[in-house]
Amino acid sequence: MQTVSVTLIEKQIETPTVCRLSLAVEAPFTYYPGQWIDLFVRREQHQEVLGVSLTSAPAADPGQNTRLEIAVKRSAHPVTGYLHDQAQPGDRFEISPQGMGRVYFEPRLGDEVVLMAGGIGVTPLLSMFRAIRDRFTDTRVTLLYSASTADEFAFGRELRESAAADARLQVHFFVRADAAEPIPDWVQQRGRIDAAALERLDLPVLAHYFLCGPQQMLTDLHALLRQRGVLRECIHYESW
Ligand SMILES: Cc1cc2nc3c(=O)[nH]c(=O)nc-3n(C[C@H](O)[C@H](O)[C@H](O)COP(=O)(O)OP(=O)(O)OC[C@H]3O[C@@H](n4cnc5c(N)ncnc54)[C@H](O)[C@@H]3O)c2cc1C
């Protein structure tokens, strides 16, 4: 398979289980907000691959996409442990030659978008949020973001600051009902994103909904949105 070389230029701890990696890409890179890449890591004579979403938002001109960003949660997948514990600035990896996946935001989808994230499932949705914030200014976006504990909200500060600065952007943070105190005041909701929450927030029926998170959450939210009258073709998600 054809691949593109990238260099790790920065690694930051984002939450107790998530690190954020900035990658310099050597060739113009084309992707849409919400797409993912395969990241190939060569270790001890063999190569391993991790599918991971791009959290960065693409520039209008692919030639300007010289920096990509990903965020990785530590899991049973060995590449995640390697990225957390060993990868260092200067390391080189290969990635797929362009963004992959059929779930992504395009401006033709209209002016009302709702994003629903569970945990690290926020990653592809963050790319869409950033693209709408920075480039697609005719679109309004509401993000519902659920995490197991308050310190597991990756990119929480950026999301809060963006929403505070622009009325087109809304963010609602949900923390699991049994999460230990203290819960910061910007986490408005306790419990899951469920029927009562959708009712309370009075979300539009005529909108495009993008979901990413644990599989059961996708199944449950899809059913809830259909019950509320959202058209099947307006509910977008991918399962890995
Ligand atoms: C398209 C796609 C892209 C992905 N991109 C990345 C990536 O870039 N980086 C990466 O590390 N992983 C990625 N993943 C992996 C995936 O997002 C996670 O494995 C999955 O979201 C679980 O995340 P978590 O462990 O943080 O969730 P958890 O911490 O287990 O759960 C997160 C939240 O979901 C809530 N929740 C759980 N079930 C339900 C339910 N039934 N209804 C409502 N709320 C519920 C919980 O209450 C909790 O608040 C991707 C997966 C897919 C399908």
Q: Number of folded domains in the chain?
A: 2
Q: Please tell me which residue, 26 or 71, carries the higher pLDDT value.
A: 71
Numbers of helices and strands, H then E, in the chain: 5, 12
Question: Does ligand 1 come within 6 angstroms of the Cβ of 21?
Answer: no
User: Does residue 88 sit in the same domain as residue 137?
Assistant: no
User: Does residue 112 sit in the same domain as residue 226?
Assistant: yes
Question: Does ligand 1 come within 6 angstroms of the Cβ of 148?
Answer: yes
Ligand 1 center–CA 123 separation, angstroms = 10
User: Does residue 51 sit in the same domain as residue 12?
Assistant: yes
Range of the domain at 179: 107-236
Q: Which among 39, 72, 95 is the end of a domain?
A: 95
CATH classification at residue 162 = 3.40.50.80
CATH classification at residue 84 = 2.40.30.10
Residue 1 has pLDDT above 80, yes or no: no
User: Does residue 113 sit in the same domain as residue 166?
Assistant: yes
Number of the ligand 1 atom closest to the C-alpha atom of 53: 8
Q: pLDDT for 44-73, tens place per residue?
A: 888 999 999 999 999 988 888 999 999 999
Average pLDDT of 142-151? 96
User: Does residue 10 sit in the same domain as residue 41?
Assistant: yes
Confidence of residue 112 (pLDDT cuts 50, 70, 90): very high
Question: Does ligand 1 come within 6 angstroms of the Cβ of 119?
Answer: yes
At 19 the pLDDT is 98
> C-alpha distances in angstroms, 10 versus 24, 69, 74, 78, 90?
9, 9, 17, 20, 9
Ligand 1 center–CA 214 separation, angstroms = 4
Question: Does ligand 1 come within 6 angstroms of the Cβ of 216?
Answer: yes
Q: Which among 42, 60, 95 is the end of a domain?
A: 95
| Euclidean distance between CA atoms 234 and 224, whole angstroms | 13
